[in-house]
Amino acid sequence: MLAKTDCSLPTPKLSAILDKYKKSPGSLLEILREAQAINGYLSREILQLIAEEVGVPESKVYGVATFYSLFKTAPTGRYIIRICESAPCHIRGAQDVLAAIEKTLAIKPGETTPDGKFTLEFTSCLGLCGVAPAMMINDQVFGNLTGDRVREIINSF
Amino acid sequence: MAIYRSHVLVCGGTPCLLKGARTIRDLFQQEIDRYQMTDEIRVVETGCLGPCDEGPVVIIYPEGVMYSRLQPADVPKIVENHLYKGRVVEELIYKEGKAGREQSGPPGVTLEGEKYLDRQKRVVLRNCGRINPDSIEEYIANHGYKALGKALTELRPEEVVQMVIDSKLQGRGGAGFPTGLKWSFTAKTQADRKYIVCNADEGEPGTFKDRLIMEGDPHSIIEGMAIAGYAVGAEEGIIYIRGEYQLSIERMARAIRQANQYGLLGKDIFGSGFNFQIQIRSGAGAYICGEETALLESLEGNRGEPRVKPPYPGVAGLWGKPTVVNNVETLANIAPIILNGPAWFRSIGTESCPGTKVFTMLGDINNQGLIEVPMGITLREIVYEIGGGIPGGKGFKMAQTGGTSGGCLPMEYLDLPMDYDTLAKAGSALGSGAMLIIDDTHCIVDVLKNFMRFFCHESCGKCTPCREGNPRLYEILTALSAGTATQAQIQLMKDLARTMQLTALCGLGQSAPNSLMTCLRFYADEIAEHLNGECPTGVCKSLATKSEAV
Q: Is the dihedral of CA B98, B104, B105, B108 positive or negative?
A: negative
Q: Can you give the pLDDT at residue B545?
A: 74
Cα(B415)–Cα(B127) distance, integer angstroms? 30
More confident residue, B155 or B3: B155
In Å, how far are B128, B133, B143, B272, B332 from B265, measured between CA atoms? 22, 17, 17, 12, 17
Contact A130 B360 (CB under 8 A): yes
**Mean pLDDT computed over every residue of chain A:** 91
Contact A144 B18 (CB under 8 A): yes
- Is-contact B111 B96, C-beta < 8 A? yes
Which run of H or E residues covers position B439?
strand B434-439
Minimum Cα–Cα distance from A25: chain B residue: B300
Mean pLDDT of B270-289: 96
Whether the predicted pLDDT of B104 surpasses 50? no
Q: Can you give the pLDDT at residue B101?
A: 34
pLDDT digit string, tens, across residues A75-98: 999 999 999 999 999 999 999 999
**Mean pLDDT computed over every residue of chain B:** 92
Whether the predicted pLDDT of A2 surpasses 60? no
Mean pLDDT of A139-143: 91
Cα(B527)–Cα(B489) distance, integer angstroms? 12
Q: Can you give the pLDDT at residue B385?
A: 86
What confidence category does residue B49 fall into, taking pLDDT thresholds of 50, 70 and 90? confident
Cα(A38)–Cα(A23) distance, integer angstroms? 22
pLDDT above 90 as % of chain A? 83
Cα(B54)–Cα(B318) distance, integer angstroms? 41
Whether the predicted pLDDT of B480 surpasses 90? yes
* Cβ-based neighbour number of residue B223 at 10 Å: 28
pLDDT above 90 as % of chain B? 85
- Is-contact B208 B216, C-beta < 8 A? no
**Edge to edge, what strands does the sheet with B195-200 contain?**
B266-269, B274-282, B236-241, B195-200, B323-327
Cα(B88)–Cα(B85) distance, integer angstroms? 9
Residue A136 neighbours by CB under 8 Å, 6+ apart: A80, A81, A82, A123, A126, A142, B244
What confidence category does residue A21 fall into, taking pLDDT thresholds of 50, 70 and 90? very high
The amino acid at residue A138 is N
How does strand B236-241 pair with strand B274-282? Answer: parallel
Mean pLDDT of B405-412: 94
pLDDT digit string, tens, across residues B211-270: 999 999 999 999 999 999 999 999 999 999 999 899 999 999 999 999 999 999 999 999
Q: Do domains A11-67 and A79-155 have the same CATH topology?
A: no
What confidence category does residue B547 fall into, taking pLDDT thresholds of 50, 70 and 90? low
* Cα of A63 to nearest chain B Cα, Å: 7
Q: Can you give the pLDDT at residue B286?
A: 93
Residue B160 neighbours by CB under 8 Å, 6+ apart: B151, B227, B230, B231, B338
Minimum Cα–Cα distance from B244: chain A residue: A126
What confidence category does residue B98 fall into, taking pLDDT thresholds of 50, 70 and 90? very low
Whether the predicted pLDDT of B389 surpasses 60? yes
pLDDT digit string, tens, across residues A124-139: 889 888 889 999 999 8
Q: Which CATH number is A11-67's, of 1.10.287, 2.60.40, 1.10.10, 2.70.170? A: 1.10.10
Closest CB to B211: pick one of A25, A67, A127: A127
What confidence category does residue B116 fall into, taking pLDDT thresholds of 50, 70 and 90? low
Is residue A139 less than 8 Å (CB to CB) from chain B?
A: yes
Contact B368 A130 (CB under 8 A): yes
Q: Can you give the pLDDT at residue A22?
A: 87
| B10 φ/ψ angles, rounded to the nearest 5 degrees | -100, 125
In Å, how far are A134, B33, B82, B85 from B37, measured between CA atoms? 38, 6, 13, 12
- Is-contact A111 A68, C-beta < 8 A? no
Cα(B5)–Cα(A108) distance, integer angstroms? 55
Question: Which SS3 state, helix, strand or coil, does residue B403 take?
Answer: coil
Is residue A64 less than 8 Å (CB to CB) from chain B?
A: yes
Contact A70 B284 (CB under 8 A): yes
Whether the predicted pLDDT of B103 surpasses 50? no
Candidates A83, A121, A125, partner chain B, best to mutate (most B CBs within 10 A):
A125
Whether the predicted pLDDT of B99 surpasses 50? no
Whether the predicted pLDDT of A1 surpasses 80? no
Q: Can you give the pLDDT at residue A52?
A: 93
Q: What is the 3-state secondary structure (H, E, C) of B329-390?
A: HHHHHHHHHHHHCHHHHHCCECCCCECEEEEEEEECCCCCEEEEEECCCEHHHHHHHHCCCC
Whether the predicted pLDDT of B13 surpasses 50? yes
What confidence category does residue B546 fall into, taking pLDDT thresholds of 50, 70 and 90? low
**Lowest-confidence segment of A5-14, A104-113, B6-15, B40-49 by average pLDDT:** A5-14
The amino acid at residue A112 is T
* Cβ-based neighbour number of residue B39 at 10 Å: 11
pLDDT digit string, tens, across residues B409-451: 999 999 999 999 999 999 899 999 999 999 999 999 999 999 9
- Is-contact A118 A79, C-beta < 8 A? yes
Residue in B312, B232, B26, B258 with CA at minimum distance from that of residue B137? B258
Closest CB to B301: pick one of A26, A69, A123: A26
Residue numbers in A near B454 (CB within 8 A): 86-87, 124
Beta bridge partners of B362: B436
Radius of gyration of chain B (CA): 24
Question: Which SS3 state, helix, strand or coil, does residue B141 take?
Answer: helix
Whether the predicted pLDDT of A3 surpasses 70? no
Q: What is the 3-state secondary structure (H, E, C) of B216-264?
A: HCHHHHHHHHHHHHHHHCCCEEEEEECCCCHHHHHHHHHHHHHHHHCCC
More confident residue, B71 or A4: B71
Candidates B207, B244, B280, partner chain A, best to mutate (most A CBs within 10 A):
B244
Is CATH 3.40.30.10 the right assignment for the domain spanning A79-155?
yes
Angle at A63 between CA A59 and CA A67, to 5 degrees: 175
Cα(B110)–Cα(B112) distance, integer angstroms? 7
Q: List chain A domain ranges.
A: 11-67, 79-155
- Is-contact B483 B532, C-beta < 8 A? no
Radius of gyration of chain A (CA): 18
Size of interface A-B (CB pairs under 8 A): 141
Structural domains of chain B in order of their starting residue, each with its CATH number: 6-118 (3.40.30.10), 136-346 (3.40.50.11540), 356-439 (3.10.20.600), 444-549 (1.20.1440.230)
- Chain centroid to CA B498: how far? 28
Mean pLDDT of B454-463: 95
Residue in B402, B450, B204 with CA at minimum distance from that of residue A91? B450
pLDDT digit string, tens, across residues B360-386: 999 999 888 899 999 999 999 999 888
